């Protein structure tokens, strides 16, 4: 009989982490979630009814708890909303440095495979478009986003250090803007903001002139990509980095129109200041993920938005969401 693989997921009660856990449980893994519940919520994992799942409240800035044999560590812990980059700056910077160190040393001790969550933010305000993994980015190391994007760059670099020195199997995923159910309505990112505003009948807040672009990936597609990375043979993925995201690029002003049309045509748009260092363009080059994993996203933006609305509607009707702490 083959042993049940054990995966530790840091940030498991967050948006991406909780969906990943659903997939790992259905794939037959034993899963341990480690989360400090800073931006994640117990409600995101309360539906999981499996004796192969446990949730431990733990902050990855502290050494990881002693657990039985661990085969995989998915390191997703980190606040990810630009609204938190200033208010939780030190926490974020340390989560992606000291926290990543704790995760990598733990994986080394357990001889586990690491899937490290990086971000398109490491490309900063890109001068190359679309962004290929070989592009080194254009990041303001002293700007308000630096606690997040520079610490994610360091997190990747620490992964390279562990690989070089200890030869452990680290697979890095650069995640581009992803959305779907279980994002907090008050998360501050654009799709939760726009959906909450439209459902409440408020005008949508477009920052700047709305011509900046993003490429939004539905959560199920992202989880398929992360799964493919974890399942890929060592020869293909160990030490590799791949972009995971949608190539359907849209201006933020057009995203507002899509959401207004689908959710509430009575809403308008109000323009507010563009945050400092807000990237002007963002779209992943996903050819590497295609070649290495045969992965590409399947769910168009309009379909993904429609799949996301019922969750936000329930949340807003129940007014049950918690605020940023
Ligand atoms: P999220 O805020 O919903 O989830 C993050 C989780 O990490 C939360 O449950 C939070 O409580 C937990 N956490 C934060 N700091 C921690 C710490 N020090 N110790 C333990 N737990 C901690 O955000 P998300 O969108 O699910 O992001 C998950 C990961 O994916 C992050 O690493 C983020 O950088 C990355 N990512 C996400 C996106 C996206 O569009 N969703 C894009 C790029 C990268
Ligand atoms: N944005 C906006 N209105 C909002 C929230 C965000 O216009 O209410 C813009 C933001 O300035 C950025 C884009 O939407 O240009 C995506 O923002 P988000 O915070 O979702 O993610 P980012 O890609 O900036 O990390």
| Residue pLDDT, tens place only, 23-33 | 999 999 999 99
The CATH architecture annotation of domain 6-179+219-245+280-298 reads 3-Layer(aba) Sandwich (3.40)
Q: What does each of the 325 residues of the chain score in pLDDT, given as a tens digit?
A: 468 999 999 999 999 999 999 999 999 999 999 999 999 999 999 999 999 999 999 999 999 999 989 999 999 999 999 999 999 999 999 999 999 999 999 999 999 999 999 999 999 999 999 999 999 999 999 999 999 999 999 999 999 999 999 999 999 999 999 999 999 999 999 999 999 999 999 999 999 999 999 999 999 999 999 999 999 999 999 999 999 999 999 999 999 999 999 999 999 999 999 999 999 999 999 999 999 999 999 999 999 999 999 999 999 998 744 444 4
Which residues are CB-neighbours of 315 under 8 A, at least 6 positions away? 185, 321
Is 162 marked active-site? no
pLDDT of residue 3: 87
Ligand 2 atom nearest to CA at 194: 8
Ligand 2 atom nearest to CA at 279: 15
User: Could you count the other beta carbons within 10 Å of the beta carbon of residue 291?
Assistant: 11
Alpha-carbon span 165 to 224, nearest angstrom: 30
Ligand 1 center to residue 90 CA distance, Å? Answer: 15
Alpha-carbon span 288 to 269, nearest angstrom: 37
pLDDT of residue 319: 75
Find out whether the beta carbon of 11 lies less than 6 Å from any atom of ligand 1: yes
283 CB-side CA count, 13 A: 12
pLDDT of residue 155: 98
* Among 252, 259, 274, residue to substitute to test ligand 2 (most atoms within 8 Å of Cβ): 252
- Whether 13 and 41 have beta carbons less than 8 Å apart is answered as yes
Find out whether the beta carbon of 100 lies less than 6 Å from any atom of ligand 1: no
pLDDT of residue 325: 42
* Among 145, 175, 196, 214, residue to substitute to test ligand 2 (most atoms within 8 Å of Cβ): 214
Residue located nearest, by CA, to atom 1 of ligand 2: 190
| Nearest ligand to the CA atom of 39 | 1
ipTM exceeding cut-off 0.85 for this assembly: yes
Q: What is the pLDDT of residues 27-85, one digit of tens each?
A: 999 999 999 999 999 999 999 999 999 999 999 999 999 998 999 999 999 999 999 99
* Among 82, 122, 190, residue to substitute to test ligand 2 (most atoms within 8 Å of Cβ): 190
Active-site pick, 123, 148, 162, 179: 148
Ligand 1 center to residue 59 CA distance, Å? Answer: 12
Find out whether the beta carbon of 82 lies less than 6 Å from any atom of ligand 2: yes
Find out whether the beta carbon of 172 lies less than 6 Å from any atom of ligand 1: no
Ligand 1 center to residue 57 CA distance, Å? Answer: 15
Ligand 2 atom nearest to CA at 193: 8
pLDDT of residue 2: 64
Q: Where are the domains of the chain?
A: 6-179+219-245+280-298
């Amino acid at each position: 009989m083959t042993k049940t693989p054990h995966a530790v997921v840091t940030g498991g009660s967050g948006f991406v982490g909780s969906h990943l856990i659903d997939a790992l449980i259905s794939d037959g893994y034993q899963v341990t979630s480690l989360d400090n519940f800073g931006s994640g919520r117990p409600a995101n994992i309360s539906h999981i009814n499996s004796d192969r799942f446990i949730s431990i409240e733990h902050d990855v800035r502290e050494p990881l708890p002693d657990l039985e044999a661990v085969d995989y560590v998915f390191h997703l812990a980190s606040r990810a909303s630009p609204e938190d980059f200033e208010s939780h700056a030190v926490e974020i910077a340390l989560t992606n440095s000291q926290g990543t160190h704790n995760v990598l040393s733990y994986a080394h001790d357990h001889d586990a495979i690491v899937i490290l969550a990086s971000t398109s933010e490491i490309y900063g305000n890109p001068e190359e478009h679309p962004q290929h993994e070989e592009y080194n980015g254009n990041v303001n190391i002293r700007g308000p986003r630096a606690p997040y994007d520079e610490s994610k760059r360091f997190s990747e670099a620490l992964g390279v250090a562990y690989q070089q020195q200890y030869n452990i199997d680290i697979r890095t995923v650069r995640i581009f803007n992803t959305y779907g159910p279980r994002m907090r309505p008050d998360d501050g990112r654009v799709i939760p903001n726009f959906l909450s505003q439209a459902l409440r009948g408020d005008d949508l807040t477009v920052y700047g002139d709305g011509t900046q672009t993003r490429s939004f990936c539905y959560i199920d597609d992202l989880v398929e990509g992360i799964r493919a990375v974890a399942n890929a043979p060592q020869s293909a993925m160990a030490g590799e980095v791949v972009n995971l995201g949608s190539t359907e690029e849209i201006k933020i002003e057009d995203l507002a129109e899509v959401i207004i049309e689908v959710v509430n045509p009575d809403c308008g748009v109000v323009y507010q200041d563009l945050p400092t260092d807000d990237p002007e363009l963002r779209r992943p080059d996903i050819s590497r993920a295609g070649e290495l994993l045969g992965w590409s996203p399947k769910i168009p933006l309009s379909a993904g938005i429609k799949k996301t609305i019922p969750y936000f509607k329930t949340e807003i009707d129940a007014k049950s969401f918690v605020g940023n702490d």
